[in-house]
Amino acid sequence: MTKLAVAVAFLTLNFYTYHFLATDAVYPDRIEFSQFPLELGPWSCGEREIVEAGIVRKLDVTDYLLCSYRRLEPLEFVSVYVGYHESQVRRKGGASSTAIHPPRHCLPGSGWDIIAAEVAPIQVGQPDAEPIRVNRLTIARGETRALVYYWYQSRGRVIAEDWKKIVYQFWDRATQHRTDGSLVRFTIPVVRGNLERADAAFLDLARRMAPLLPDYLPD
């Protein structure tokens, strides 16, 4: 019975590999981030920041938005990074790859300590819409504190957990021939330890930005 189960699993895996994965990938139409608005209500970004070519290659990102948005009254700054990957499959060998680097793993390498982490529900759509679940990190470097909110936005889903991102990537590759996905990250300075003020700044900007993202991160 065990040998039969192993044989069936092996045949199923082969069927999956050759029937589903040996198909040309689908790359959906989208608007490039060069068209993303730099004015969002009271928030404005002076100019898009450019990432060094070597870092772009390391991130394996297809298109990105990197902007520091500022609001004058009250004065707030929020750094926004949205990276779109048209494929999360390695170009050589065809093996699956988690091309999107989780901030939770990258921040310590940049000198930041994560002092608190949680998955938080937030409301960024219509009042009657379901909240989305996102990651909320409190980070520190010396005396400096900041909040980081991030999530994965992939093929119409907002995902907080790394493992769910991988599962959906595997499933959508089989059923839709798509592995595109994205990382959405907001970084907000914490002034005088006032986390509530940083949270409020994030929510105000995120509620203006989130409805626009599907044009750039296709469902």
**By the 8 A CB rule, do 157 and 84 touch?**
no
Q: Residue 109 — very low, low, confident or very high, per pLDDT cuts 50/70/90?
A: confident
Kindly state the average pLDDT of the residues 80-88.
Answer: 92
| 170-209: pLDDT as tens digits | 888 888 888 888 999 999 999 999 999 999 999 999 999 9
Model pTM? 0.85
Domain boundaries, the chain: 28-215
Q: What is the pLDDT of residues 15-56, one digit of tens each?
A: 555 455 556 777 788 999 999 999 999 999 999 999 999 988
7 pLDDT band, cuts 50/70/90, is very low
The Cα–Cα gap between 195 and 189 comes to 9
Minimum mean pLDDT range among 66-75, 140-149, 177-186: 177-186
pLDDT at 43: 98
* Concatenated DSSP letters of 126-169: -TTSPPEEEEEEEEEETTEEEEEEEEEEETTEEE--HHHHHHHH
Q: Reduce the DSSP state of residue 18 to 3 states and report it.
A: helix
**Residue 144's closest CA among 72, 200, 80, 198?**
198
Burial class (CB in 10 A: 0-12, 13-18, 19+), 182: buried
